[in-house]
Structure 1
Amino acid sequence: MPIAYYITHPQVRIDAGVPVPQWGLSDIGRARAVAMLDQPWIGSIRRVVSSAERKATATAEILAQHLGLVVEMRERMHENDRSATGFLPPPEFEAVADQFFAKPHDSIRGWERAIDAQQRIMGEVDAVLAAGESDIAFVGHGGVGTLLLLHLSGREISRIADQPAGGGNYFAFDIEARRILHGWRPIDEPAPHHDI
């Protein structure tokens, strides 16, 4: 059974003076990405496909170098487009993100609509998976990752399935059946023994 892993970048270096897509990993985020390499599920991965945002590519490069692979970049795997507001202080960001998930057919403060972001990430995943069915890692972002997880689960868009705070989580799905095998887990913690 070929498995796809959707991995979100871990903690970033927040800089209000730098556009969000250009943020890199913080020291903690980089350490967590390196710790991920010790997890047993990593060894089966044969392709690494990443969003082109810097925090995602930094995570993907750590993984790909470890596996002797080349990162495949997909520009359209980016996080939901929030350029209309740019950086928002965390409390304000969380409030707008709540609205983004609660009203998926509306553009909240100029953000990309959740329904559009979901269709975009599904299109990217489907295009990549059409090219082969070995175990694959998608490296991206929490917002669109949550939208992907919800779609694969057959659930309506809401924030209930959002990844835990801080990033650096992953979920897995059966490529052939497009069925979720497990929800969000930290990238740097062992999986429960009863699971993959």
Structure 2
Amino acid sequence: MFAVYITHPQVKIDATVPVPQWGLSDLGAARTRKAAGADWVRQLKRIVSSAEVKAIETSAILAEGAGIGFETVEILHENDRSATGFLPPPEFEKAADWFFAHPEQSYQGWERAIDAQARIVIAVEAILTDHDPTGAIAFVGHGGVGTLLKCHLEGRPIARSGDQAPGGGNLFAFDLARRAVSCDWTPIEDWQGFAA
């Protein structure tokens, strides 16, 4: 059976609001609603979300489409960037490049990439320990830690080259039995899932 790691789509950027409290933009919500009608969403037996607002809003829409509830797990949060607070998009992209290029160092007080990777890998494995492997599961979270998880599952070094396309709202799939990535980053509304 499969697992998917889903990143929240576009958000309402507000420099006066802490980033973890940002919600989905109209475009992000519309993309998620479109994805929620897909066959693969109805195959989900469990949805586990980061506790950040944008991930919760994404999970709620997908859970409605799946006809199930969802749970939140705090430790699935994005890499901790609170030391710098909001960075305008051009500055953020430069900072993110540095974060991935120097995984054992902290960018101006950010959580190090190696620490964020260890956290997300341990969290996902802990969740899967008590998950029925015959049921599809979705993890709903963030691009940074999602990329770090994907690098781990692929057995390759941390690198931004493994990152999703800009805008978010993408997923990758992996096989629950082998923990092998079986689908690269794909927009959530475009993925067709796997044949039953």
TM norm structure 1: 0.96
**What is the CA–CA distance in structure 2 between the aligned matches of 1:26 and 1:120, rounded to whole Å?**
28
Q: Which amino acid aligns with 1:187?
A: I
Report matched runs for 1:20-59 at 5 Å.
Answer: 20-59=19-58
**CA-CA distance at 1:99 after TM superposition:** 0.5
* Divergent runs of 4+, >3 A: none
Report matched runs for 1:117-128 at 5 Å.
Answer: 117-128=116-127
**CA-CA distance at 1:39 after TM superposition:** 2.2
The residue aligned with 1:174 is 175
Instruction: State whether residues 42 and 65 of structure 2, in contact with CA within 8 Å, keep that contact through their aligned partners in structure 1.
Output: no
**What is the CA–CA distance in structure 2 between the aligned matches of 1:107 and 1:6, rounded to whole Å?**
25
**CA-CA distance at 1:53 after TM superposition:** 0.1
Instruction: State whether residues 36 and 66 of structure 2, in contact with CA within 8 Å, keep that contact through their aligned partners in structure 1.
Output: no
The residue aligned with 2:143 is 142
Instruction: State whether residues 42 and 67 of structure 2, in contact with CA within 8 Å, keep that contact through their aligned partners in structure 1.
Output: no
Q: How many residues align?
A: 193
**CA-CA distance at 1:68 after TM superposition:** 2.3
Instruction: State whether residues 37 and 65 of structure 2, in contact with CA within 8 Å, keep that contact through their aligned partners in structure 1.
Output: no
Q: Which amino acid aligns with 1:191?
A: Q
Over residues 123-155 of structure 1, what are the superposed CA-to-partner deviations in whole Å (9 max), with x where a residue is unaligned?
A: 110011111222100000000000000000001
The residue aligned with 2:153 is 152
**CA-CA distance at 1:190 after TM superposition:** 4.1
**What is the CA–CA distance in structure 2 between the aligned matches of 1:7 and 1:13, rounded to whole Å?**
18
1:46 counterpart SS class = strand
- Consecutive unaligned residues of structure 2, counting only runs of 5 or more, are none
Q: Which amino acid aligns with 2:118?
A: Q
**CA-CA distance at 1:102 after TM superposition:** 0.2
**CA-CA distance at 1:66 after TM superposition:** 2.1
Report matched runs for 1:7-86 at 5 Å.
Answer: 7-86=6-85
**CA-CA distance at 1:191 after TM superposition:** 3.4
Question: Is 1:186 aligned to 2:187, yes or no?
Answer: yes
**What is the CA–CA distance in structure 2 between the aligned matches of 1:147 and 1:183, rounded to whole Å?**
14
Q: Which amino acid aligns with 1:147?
A: L
